[in-house]
């Protein structure tokens, strides 16, 4: 009886390894579920976009790539089209600064865009007819590269200081371009040269060259006399228009536009030193300029940090994409802040970053 039991035990011990080996071979022979035709797979462009963008997608799934217009799409629309968050923010900042995307390659120039990511997004970039460069000019044997575009009426001599958007539209601008020309004119205090007119994103060199014979600019002497009668030094850079700023030694026609554009994006200057942040202002020029200007910080437009929307935050030059994400996430999870020190403790800003941005923040509890 004992011998029979021992034989049974030996048989079981020999059978167990054989069963283990058989199961192992069966598992190895089965195809991986990851590549099973019955398992839904993420599209190749979406996986590539995730790896290129480098964004944390552990808690969210990225939508399929879809067509979008960089001139019209809002933040949510871009995200739904598969555009990475940092690129969507960059595109919105460029638009806020007056940039118009006329060809797909313009998108490749925005901050944060890499060649690999652009080539992936390029088939889905859709520039609307209102913005794209239209090459429908009928050329003849005597035509030149500077031929005029199609117009509703023939241009006559006009002043850029008083011209209306309707007239600009009638002589070849789209309605949006015409509005940008007027808005830019109001921002810089009027066009005083063809170079200033050309600097507007809605114009460009070729169009400015075509319209130059029709444009009436005020005489330079009269502009200087007008400015001299009204300007007293030092000049407040938060209230001065382009004519006043051009009275400052060291500020030229191009640098004055950059100073005004940066002032608009910041919400005003709180320190003269901020002028030196502009690439067009050289150290030598800044030493000359700084002796002739001052900043009325009471004119600064502040951001209500506890209630401001995404658009108001993302356009500010001092708020990076990293800061923007932390501000939005912290507000949703824990609420707002009472002081800049609390934002440092929350790791929103470093001490250096906080010192830079603090003059633009309002910690009031009332969004009004």
Mean pLDDT of successive 10-residue stretches along the chain, which has 368 residues = 61 70 69 42 49 44 78 90 90 81 82 82 86 46 41 76 83 85 74 81 85 78 45 84 85 86 92 92 88 90 90 90 92 89 94 94 72
Cβ contact 318:360 at 8 Å: yes
pLDDT value of residue 311: 83
Instruction: Find where tokens 């060649």 sit.
Output: 115
pLDDT value of residue 57: 39
Estimate to the nearest angstrom the gap between the alpha carbon of 176 and the chain centroid: 18
pLDDT value of residue 48: 52
Give CA angle at 136 (131, 137), nearest 5°. Answer: 115
pLDDT value of residue 178: 86
Task: Report which DSSP code applies to 233.
Answer: S
Domain formed by 221-299, architecture: Orthogonal Bundle (1.10)
Give this prediction's pTM: 0.43
The Cα-based distances of 294 to 236, 242, 271, 275, 289 in angstroms read 5, 15, 8, 11, 10
- The closest alpha carbon to 176, from 98, 78, 105, 73, belongs to 98
**Beta strand 361-362 with 303-304: parallel, antiparallel or unpaired?**
parallel
- The closest alpha carbon to 182, from 195, 192, 197, belongs to 197
Segments making up each domain of the chain, as ranges? 44-124, 158-218, 221-299, 303-362
Rounded Cα distance, 115 and 302, in Å: 36
């Amino acid at each position: 009886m004992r011998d029979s039991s021992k034989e049974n035990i030996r048989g079981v011990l020999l059978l167990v390894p054989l069963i283990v080996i058989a199961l192992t071979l069966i598992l190895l022979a089965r195809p991986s579920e990851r590549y099973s035709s019955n398992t839904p797979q993420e599209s190749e462009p979406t996986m590539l976009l995730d790896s290129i963008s480098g964004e944390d997608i552990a808690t969210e799934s990225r939508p399929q790539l879809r067509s979008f217009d960089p001139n019209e799409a809002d933040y949510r629309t871009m995200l739904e089209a598969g555009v990475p968050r940092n690129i969507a923010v960059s595109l919105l900042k460029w638009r806020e600064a007056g940039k118009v995307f006329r060809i797909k390659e313009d998108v490749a120039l925005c901050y944060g865009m890499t060649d690999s990511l652009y080539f992936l997004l390029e088939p889905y970039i859709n520039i609307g007819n209102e913005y794209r460069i239209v090459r429908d000019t009928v050329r003849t044997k005597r035509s030149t590269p500077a031929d005029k575009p199609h117009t509703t009426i023939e241009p006559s001599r006009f002043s850029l200081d008083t011209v209306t958007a309707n007239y600009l539209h009638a002589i070849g601008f789209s309605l949006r371009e015409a509005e940008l020309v007027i808005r830019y004119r109001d921002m810089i205090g009027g066009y005083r040269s063809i170079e200033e007119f050309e600097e507007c994103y809605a114009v460009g060199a070729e169009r400015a060259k075509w319209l130059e014979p029709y444009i009436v600019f005020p005489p330079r002497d009269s502009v200087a006399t007008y400015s001299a009668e009204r300007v007293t030094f030092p000049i407040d850079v938060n209230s001065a228009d382009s004519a006043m700023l051009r009275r400052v030694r060291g500020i030229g026609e191009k640098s004055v536009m950059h100073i005004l554009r940066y002032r608009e994006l910041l919400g005003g200057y709180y320190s003269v030193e901020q002028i030196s942040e502009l690439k067009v202002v050289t150290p030598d020029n800044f030493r000359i300029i700084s002796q002739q200007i001052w900043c009325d910080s009471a004119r600064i437009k502040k951001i209500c940090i506890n209630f401001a929307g995404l658009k108001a935050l993302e356009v500010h030059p001092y708020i990076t994409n990293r800061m923007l994400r932390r501000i939005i996430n912290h507000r949703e999870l824990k609420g707002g802040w009472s002081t800049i020190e609390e934002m440092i403790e929350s790791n929103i800003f470093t001490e250096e970053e906080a010192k830079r941005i603090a003059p633009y923040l309002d910690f009031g509890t009332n969004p009004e």
